[in-house]
């Protein structure tokens, strides 16, 4: 399984539009080689470089989404696939949060999971609950990483 973006290469730099310095909209993503037996896809975007004084766990969640149809070819810029559920992000709201590193260049990981089931979760859950619900249901996964450093 693969996840790519026409907006940036693996280990490339996010466009300003996908950050707090721009419109703060989600970048376009493309999915390929999803297992035929997948019943749904889930997506987590997080930043493991957040300062621990801001987030003691050391990770900031920018986006969670599940019940993406397995035949979905990707996610268009500034959109959510029909039928998908967006969960809580690091601010406790739902939806995408653009990259906004406070101190230096950060890495942003887009993690795609093919699941053998659809998830019965409300949009009020976040990454931890999503990962627990996915446990023992992951058929395949793929990761795409981008970087961003705010102009200072």
Cα–Cα distances in Å, from 41 out to 48, 73, 95, 137? 22, 11, 16, 11
The residue among 92, 91, 80 whose CA lies nearest residue 41 is 80
C-alpha to C-alpha distance for 20 and 34, rounded to whole angstroms: 31
Query: What pLDDT was estimated at residue 109?
Result: 98
> 147: how many CB neighbours lie within 10 A of its CB?
16
Write down the pTM of the prediction. Answer: 0.96
Query: What pLDDT was estimated at residue 58?
Result: 84
Low-confidence ranges of the chain (pLDDT < 70): none
Query: What pLDDT was estimated at residue 61?
Result: 97
* Range 2-148: architecture per CATH: Alpha-Beta Complex (3.90)
Query: What pLDDT was estimated at residue 55?
Result: 76
C-alpha to C-alpha distance for 70 and 18, rounded to whole angstroms: 25
Query: What pLDDT was estimated at residue 152?
Result: 72
């Amino acid at each position: 399984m693969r996840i790519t973006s026409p907006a940036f290469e693996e280990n490339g730099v996010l466009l300003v539009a996908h950050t707090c310095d721009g419109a703060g909209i989600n970048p376009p993503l493309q999915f390929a080689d999803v297992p035929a037996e997948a019943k749904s896809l889930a997506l987590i975007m997080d930043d493991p470089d957040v300062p621990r004084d801001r987030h003691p766990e050391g990770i900031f969640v920018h986006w969670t989404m599940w019940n993406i149809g397995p035949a979905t070819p990707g996610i268009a810029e500034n959109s959510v696939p029909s039928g998908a559920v967006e969960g809580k992000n690091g601010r406790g709201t739902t939806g995408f949060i653009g990259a906004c590193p406070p101190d230096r260049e950060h890495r942003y990981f887009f993690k795609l999971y093919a699941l053998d089931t659809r998830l019965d979760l409300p949009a009020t859950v976040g990454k931890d609950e999503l990962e627990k619900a996915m446990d023992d249901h992951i058929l395949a996964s793929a990761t795409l990483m981008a970087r961003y450093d705010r102009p200072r």
